[in-house]
């Protein structure tokens, strides 16, 4: 159907969706980027809000999470699905969840290679770059506006 994206983003249901979330993160962070498994599995997943990007065939191809402290993280899209707007849709869904839960500010640690993506979404850098999990990152933040409509999910 023309104009319909080949994916959707939905709130994840834990623990049912955890295997799909973990598979995506394992592929992107551990296998592709070489992040040690003990750093990736930080034990915070049960306390976070997660979203999943699903294909029209219900295959999970991307994920992200919102920590209770307002930090967005663990955003990952499988390589064949990158460049199709999935990351933006995941980020938009997480921002929508944060707004619906009354968050006033969001923070994140962006890999330097992804900082432009977050700047385009309204985040600003908050300090000097640093190394996290062996990769250069920069802290970023975004204050949420209550005047605008947002696509909550």
pTM, full prediction: 0.90
Domain range summary for the chain, segments of one domain joined by +: 7-143
Instruction: Write out pLDDT tens, residues 57-77.
Output: 999 999 999 999 999 999 999
**8-state DSSP, 29:** I
Q: Which fold has domain 7-143?
A: Aminopeptidase (3.40.630)
Q: Are 97 and 146 in contact (CB under 8 A)?
A: no
pLDDT tens for residues 99-114?
999 999 999 999 999 9
pLDDT exceeds 90 at position 127: yes
- Asked if 89 and 54 count as a contact pair (C-beta separation under 8 A), the reply is no
| Closest CA relative to residue 96, chosen from 138, 49, 35 | 49
State the CB neighbour count (10 A cutoff) for residue 125.
Answer: 14
pLDDT at residue number 5: 67
Report the Cα–Cα distance between both ends of the chain, in Å, rounded: 22
Residue 153 is predicted with a pLDDT of 46
d(Cα 122, Cα 70) in Å, to the nearest integer? 15
3-state secondary structure of 97: helix
């Amino acid at each position: 159907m023309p104009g319909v994206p080949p994916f959707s983003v939905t709130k994840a249901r834990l623990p049912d969706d955890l295997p799909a979330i973990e598979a995506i993160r394992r592929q992107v962070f551990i296998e592709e980027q070489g992040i040690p498994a003990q750093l990736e599995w930080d034990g915070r997943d049960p306390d976070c809000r997660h979203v999943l990007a699903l294909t029209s065939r219900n295959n999970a191809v991307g994920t992200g999470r919102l920590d209770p402290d307002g930090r967005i993280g663990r955003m990952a899209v499988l390589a064949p699905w990158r460049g199709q707007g999935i990351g933006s849709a995941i980020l938009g869904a997480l921002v929508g969840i944060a707004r619906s839960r009354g968050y006033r500010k969001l923070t994140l640690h962006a890999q330097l290679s992804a900082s432009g993506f977050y700047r385009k979404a309204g985040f600003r850098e908050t300090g000097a770059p640093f190394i996290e999990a062996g990769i250069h990152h920069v802290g970023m933040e975004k204050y949420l506006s209550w005047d605008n409509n947002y696509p909550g999910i």
